[in-house]
Amino acid sequence: MKILLHENERELPPGTTLFQLRDQTKPGADVVVFNGAIAAEDRELREGDAVHFIRRGEMPSAGEMESLLVARHTPGVHQRVRQGAVGIAGLGGLGSTLAVALARTGVGKLVLADFDVVEPSNLNRQHYTVAQIGMYKADALREVIAQINPYVEVEATVVRLDEVNALEVFGTVQVLAEAFDTQAAKSMLVKTFRRHRPDLPLVTVSGLAGYGPANRIQTRRLLKNLYLVGDEETAARPGMGLMAPRVGIAASHQANAVLRLLLGLEPDED
């Protein structure tokens, strides 16, 4: 019988139980993760089960760390997303939150691009810190991701994207996420990739400002390989600012759409 123990294949005799394996391999482990969920009761293991054992407060070895970062994933997901490469155009509230979500998901490579620097008003909704004020967002976000999941390859470029360099920067990605602030930049990216790379799935955003009902933010397909997240109404303007909760909701919609695309699923279908 073969199972996955800390993401590594292991042969076990039939009838081996979860807690027997724990006592053999990680005595004293007080967190037992079985197929992505915490297990409080013993059970007989079956072919293909995925198991992780954790001692609270213990710093794992370098060899164990990557597997434990994804211990709570649905089985089979990590093996697929670790092969993925995702581009993120714009690293503000949307892009930085999206990048962190994908790093926690274990996407193998993130290609990040932005020309701007971190400034104080960013901190109400963006994944940066006071200590990073003045840094280029691309460099700051690479630093943040390294502290979350050092096994993600990060290619960060300080650049103002245009019709020419966008195709170069994101030439190797499998999915591209648009996270710009301005309509002009959004339109440029969509038109460029629809013209030159219609095969590349593109997840865009429109309508996420303010503190309106969260359920108005939705993900839907506009065209083949073109998806839109948001309510398509609440753009940022005087009297309608950008707040962390709604920006985060939209970014998480984007992250889930990207994840589904990497897994070969349509973002807006059951």
Q: Do both 162 and 38 map to the same domain?
A: no
- Report the domain count for the chain: 2
Please count the CA atoms within 13 angstroms of the CA of 49 that sit on its side-chain side.
Answer: 20
Would you state the structure tokens that stand for residue 128, as one six-digit string?
A: 């940066």
The Cα 68–Cα 184 span in angstroms is: 42
pLDDT at residue 182 in the model = 92
The answer to whether residue 38 sits within a structural domain is yes
Distance CA 114, CA 236 (A): 20
Q: Please give the Cα distance from 265 to 81 (Å, whole number).
A: 13
Same domain, 114 and 146: yes
Return the CATH number at 95.
Answer: 3.40.50.720
Pick from 9, 192, 211: which is nearest to 89 by CA? Answer: 192
**Pairwise CA distance, residues 267 & 270, whole Å:** 8
pLDDT at position 162? 97
Q: Say if residue 207 is in the same domain as residue 253.
A: yes
- Examine residue 267 and state whether it is found in any structural domain, yes or no: no
Same structural domain, 60 and 179: no
Does some domain include residue 52?
Answer: yes
Do residues 179 and 91 touch, judged by C-beta distance below 8 A? yes
Packed helices 137-148 and 93-105: angle between N→C axes, nearest 10 degrees? 30
Q: Which domain holds residue 20?
A: 2-68
148-153 long-range contacts, Cβ below 8 Å, gap at least 24? Answer: 148/100, 148/103, 148/104, 149/69, 149/103, 149/104, 149/106, 151/65, 151/66, 151/69, 151/106, 152/102, 152/103, 152/106, 152/107, 152/108, 152/109, 152/110, 153/108, 153/109, 153/110
Give the pLDDT score at 217: 95
The DSSP H or E segment spanning 194 is: helix 183-196
Residue 268 CA to residue 270 CA, distance in Å, equals: 7
Is residue 50 included in any domain, yes or no?
yes
Question: Does residue 50 sit in the same domain as residue 183?
Answer: no
Q: Within this chain, do residues 159 and 63 fall inside the same structural domain, yes or no?
A: no
Note whether 41 and 132 are same-domain residues: no
269 lies in some domain = no
Q: Looking at the domain assignment, is residue 268 inside a domain?
A: no
**Whether residue 134 sits in one domain with residue 50:** no
- What does pLDDT average to in each consecutive run of 10 residues of the chain (270 residues)? 93 95 94 95 95 93 85 89 97 97 97 98 96 98 96 97 97 97 95 97 94 94 96 88 94 97 92
Instruction: Please tell me the predicted confidence (pLDDT) of residue 267.
Output: 95
Whether residues 122 and 230 share a domain: the answer is yes
> Is 212 a member of any domain?
yes
Task: Identify the CATH number of the domain in which residue 12 sits.
Answer: 3.10.20.30
Residue 138 domain-assigned? yes
Does residue 7 share a domain with residue 89? no
**H or E, element range at 109:** strand 109-114
